[in-house]
Structure 1
Amino acid sequence: MWAVALHRFLVKEWGIDPSPALVGKYAPGIARPANNVSIQIIDADFKQRYSQQIRDDVVKLNPGFLILIPSDMSKGDIGKLRDVCAGAEGKSLYYAPEKSTLRIGKVTTVDAEHFWKPVAPGMCRYWAVRPMAIAETRPIPDIKLHRKWGVYEALCLSIGHVWRSQYPQSSEGSREERYWNIVDAVSAKTSHFRIYNYRTVHRANMTDYVHRANGSNILHGMNALIAISDAGESLDCAAMAIGQSRHLGGGFLVPADFSVSVCQSDDDFEKGIPTWLK
């Protein structure tokens, strides 16, 4: 909720013509990028739990919001967003009447590509999802190959949406067919991703974990162990998020480090696979 509150605040403070990367709305004919501005919450509980993995200079900061900037956001819009954030210092933030408020503090620039400490020698980094990833679509049956859509397929789609540029894009076929093409690409042996121990996650009030959803859809929460290969550009220290609510406080990837001694080699994936998942 606080991520949604900050998003609304930033849009209001921006004024006329806020950046498409902030509001997620693009003019007709403009190619929609894979990612928009993402807001994650780094509160005291989060910092305490991951204090050994978060970079030291970040741990020393007060609890706050982590605003992730997409790589293709224009320099002008990045500068404007920085000014908006700087101008918000000392102002109050609230998400509902008669609820507590937050006072916005000083802006600090953090290198999101190095948010986490490097993997310790002899360890291998996988990722878990905090608090969960929300599925981005209803289950989609594969009519041609008679495949069923489950948690694994939903996670593949979420990963494919974030790293869309890695996969060929085609406007041919139905939306359902294009989604299955993404699933096939992410799950291929040559893919830079591996997904294990995938499972459904339920909470008492699932609407707290989404920004916007069709009233007819059933909300599906998911978690898993996810490995990302280096592929020439390591993401082992990067702040990343997946899923329907990745832009507003959900689907944040947190480190799950294992000793390489428990990882079985895999010819198709250099990080190997933890033996209990093989």
Structure 2
Amino acid sequence: MPFTITARFLLHTYQGADTTGKPERYPSPERLYKALVSTAYGAFGFNSKYAKQESRVSDQQLEAVFRWLETNPPDAIRAPRMSRRNGSDAIVYRDRGSRSKKIAADKKNVSAVCSTAYPDTNEGTLIWQWKQEPDADIADLLSRLCWEVPYLGEACSPVNLTTTNVPDDEFPVDPDNSLYKSDDDLSAARMAATVEFDVPDIGHLQELQRGYEQVYPRKVPASNGSEEEKTVLSNTLTDCVRSIGYQRKQGWIASSEMRPWQHGFFIPAAVAATKSSATVDDEHDVAWNPDESTFVAWSVALHRLLVRQWGYGASPLLTGRYEKGSTVPRPANNVAIQVLTAGMPVRDDELRECLPGFLVMVPHDMPVDEIDHLADVCDTLRKQQLFYARQSETLCLGEAMEVDLDTFWQPVKSGYRRLWTPYPLCIKETRKFRSRTDSNRLWNVQDSMALAIAYVWREYFTHRQDDADTDEAVSSPSVSIRESRYWSMADCVNNPESGVHIYDAHDETRTPMTDYVHKTQPGNLLMGMTALLSFDKQQWPIEQSAIAIGQSRHLGGGFLVPVDVYTQLIDKNGKPVWLR
């Protein structure tokens, strides 16, 4: 029967560093091992002559527990979801507490505190999982040890550790967020998705004991060096520690990854009455009513401002520029910026009152430290002025506010069905072309819309594409690789089993079309399109999510807005009756 150890952080934060001094995102199994060894010495009198009778646990029993941990690394680790810490300009520094006045005065011995925040829900728990539970005696003593552990990492990370058995059919717990011991797949894509954890190896207990005895000998020797050298336990006791890679199962798509952008920041904006207007709260400012033809221009202007405020080393997920020749695949989506106009059916009442403004959408795979930095950058935009051309209006930007993009839109009312349409329109990713394997098949608007959807959920549809043997995908080498990939991805979306339905896809033209795109591939004809889209609720948990599709989805285009239709106007196939 599977066996688990669950860690619930009482303050919903974890603070700890690895052997190199770098802050850890999650406590490793080796961190858990050290905490259990410390508890064995403190609460159970391990290797002590005075606490034996009180604990009634022999050294041999404790050594059996540690030997099992050394020879059985977790088969899976349920990683907690990290949440962004509340933004603050304050930096806390901690003195190491050396007794030497000379050392204490040395600024090099003062280090900044860095911690990882977890949400105050079940998503914030960390679970180490084993397919096979240990012997009953070991499992019972391990449970008692876990109960006595006060914290993991630093003392400011109090924790509650519990053990439990789960049914075989429930292993692993929460597969959406579980990492598994990696296989022998050493491809760049799989290596990039691997998270390494330190785990104890055979002999690590004796290694820790020797290190402790060197720092705290029973007989205090004469002073031969600084006090700090005599009181600090070495952080290099790693001869009996190994690193194991953990990764998600190949082909598994977590439900959270079905929502490409999950976190965002809203920046209100108003037209400055004068060039000297300093804030969106100025009573003389005029309400901003942007024309849809300026959405891309305004989004590009804000994007440049964000990059400039970030400065050197801006995240590639913000800039959109990645290292050439890198073997690590680029993410499907970057930071996206959309213009929100007054009257949009957003769920949050406070947000609705602040419209219009800009929505900065953060991709789900953006590192937490980069999200923190982006939040700080957005905070600096308050009272900033923005314009995209000399003849354009000048906007005053207000104070940024955090937005949950998973619940961005108002929920669907009873008796209605939610459809979607791109606003103001969706820019095609490619031109028309004819199939190389079927001369009667010509690329059409339906295929273009399907490709735009496939690009947003690239990981999901690439996985489905690998399982499907389409004619285009197995064609002769003379067929264009790019066109073959386009056909394969479009076919995956158009497949009825995909859960995606495209209705009334047709071309949409504006004059000039250059207003609706920032950059495009050379030789690609600028063409817009629109349609009504439907996603099955069982497969696509995006009923209230903020999503954008199309070539301009990162800068002011293709923003999916809800269109709720009375269910009596939907036929049994899910299609609006007026489109029959």
The residue aligned with 1:86 is 379
Residue 239 of structure 1 corresponds to 546
Q: Name the amino acid aligned to 1:196.
A: Y
Partner of 2:331: 33
SS at match of 2:354: coil
Alpha-carbon RMSD across the aligned residues, in angstroms, is 1.8
Q: How many angstroms apart in 1 are the aligned matches of 2:458 and 2:304? A: 27
CA–CA distance in 1 between the matches of 2:538 and 2:506? 26
* Equivalent residues of 1:47, 1:54 under 8 A apart: no
| Contact 1:134-1:221 within 8 A present in 2 as well | yes
TM-score (norm. length: structure 2): 0.45
| 2:436 pairs with 1:161 | no
Letter in 2 for 1:163: W
- Asked if 1 retains the 8 angstrom alpha-carbon contact of 2:499 and 2:540, the reply is no
SS in 2 for 1:168: helix
Identity %: 40
Q: How does 1:90-105 map to 2 (within 5 A)?
A: 90-105=383-398
Report if aligned partners of 2:499, 2:535 keep a CA contact under 8 Å in 1.
Answer: yes
Offset from partner CA, 1:201-220 (integer Å, 9 cap, x none): 11111111001024532210
Code of the aligned partner of 2:488? N
Do 2:383 and 2:398's aligned partners in 1 also have CA atoms closer than 8 Å? yes
Name the structure 2 match of 1:131: 424
1:181 aligns with 488
Q: Give CA-to-partner distance per residue, 1:107-153, whole Å, 9 cap, x none.
A: 00111111111100010000111100000112232111221011111
Show structure 1 runs of 5+ residues with no match: 267-271
Instruction: Indicate if the aligned counterparts of 1:159 and 1:242 stay in contact, CA closer than 8 A.
Output: yes
- Aligned to 1:201, which of 508, 518, 533? 508
1:65 and 1:216 map into 2 onto residues whose CA distance is 31
TM-score using structure 1 length: 0.91
The Cα of 1:67 is off from its aligned counterpart by: 0.6
Distance 1:126 1:74 in 2: 32
How far apart, CA to CA, are the structure 2 residues paired with 1:99 and 1:158? Answer: 31
Q: What code does the residue aligned with 1:36 have?
A: N
Residues 212, 141 of structure 1: CA spacing in aligned structure 2 closer, same or farther, 3 A cutoff? same
What whole-Å deviation, never above 9, does each CA across 1:10-37 have from its counterpart, x for those lacking one?
Answer: 1111111211111112222221111110
Kindly indicate whether residue 319 of structure 2 is the aligned counterpart of residue 20 of structure 1: no
What's the offset of the Cα at 1:277?
Answer: 2.9
For 1:47, give the aligned amino acid: A
Residue 274 of structure 1 corresponds to: 576
Residue 167 of structure 2 is matched in structure 1 by none
Q: Which runs of 4+ in 1 moved over 4 A?
A: 169-173
Task: Name the CA distance, whole Å, in 2 between partners of 1:85 and 1:143.
Answer: 48
Residue 307 of structure 2 corresponds to residue 11 of structure 1:
yes
Q: How many residues align?
A: 268
> What is the deviation of 1:54?
4.7
| Aligned residues of 1:123 and 1:258 also touching (Cα < 8 A) | yes
- SS, match of residue 401 in structure 2: coil
Q: Offset at 1:41?
A: 0.4
Partner SS state of residue 497, structure 2: coil
Contact 2:420 2:532 in 1 (8 A): yes
Gaps of 5+ in 2: 1-296, 467-472
Whether the aligned pair in 2 keeps the contact of 1:21 and 1:36 (CA below 8 Å) is: yes
SS in structure 2 of the partner of residue 197 of structure 1: strand
Q: 1:22, 1:37 within 8 Å by CA — same for their partners in 2? A: yes
What secondary structure does 1:230 align onto?
A: coil
Q: Distance in 2 between matches of 1:208 and 1:222?
A: 15
Cα drift, residue 199 of structure 1: 0.9
Amino acid at match of 2:529: M
* Residues 427, 551 of structure 2: 8 Å contact kept: yes
Offset at residue 262 of structure 1 (A): 2.2
Contact 1:195 1:225 in 2 (8 A): yes
Partner of 1:216: 523
For residues 231 and 181 of structure 1, the distance between their equivalents in structure 2, rounded to whole angstroms, comes to: 24
What is the distance in 2 between the residues matched to 1:75 and 1:25?
Answer: 19
Task: Name the CA distance, whole Å, in 2 between partners of 1:275 and 1:99.
Answer: 43
CA distance in 1, matches of 2:450, 2:521: 21
CA distance in 2 between counterparts of 1:62 and 1:168 reads 37
| Distance in 2 between residues matched to 1:40 and 1:19, nearest whole Å | 19
Shift of 1:55: 3.9
1:261 CA drift (Å): 1.8
- Structure 2 distance, partners of 1:211, 1:180, is 25
1:76 maps to 2:372: no
Is the CA contact 1:58–1:115 (under 8 Å) kept in the aligned structure 2? no
Residue 150 (structure 1) aligns with:
444
- 1:157-208 alpha-carbon deviations (Å, 9 max, x no partner): 0000001121235699701101100010000010121001111111111111
Provide the secondary structure at the position in 1 that maps to 2:412. coil
CA distance in 2, matches of 1:109, 1:208: 29
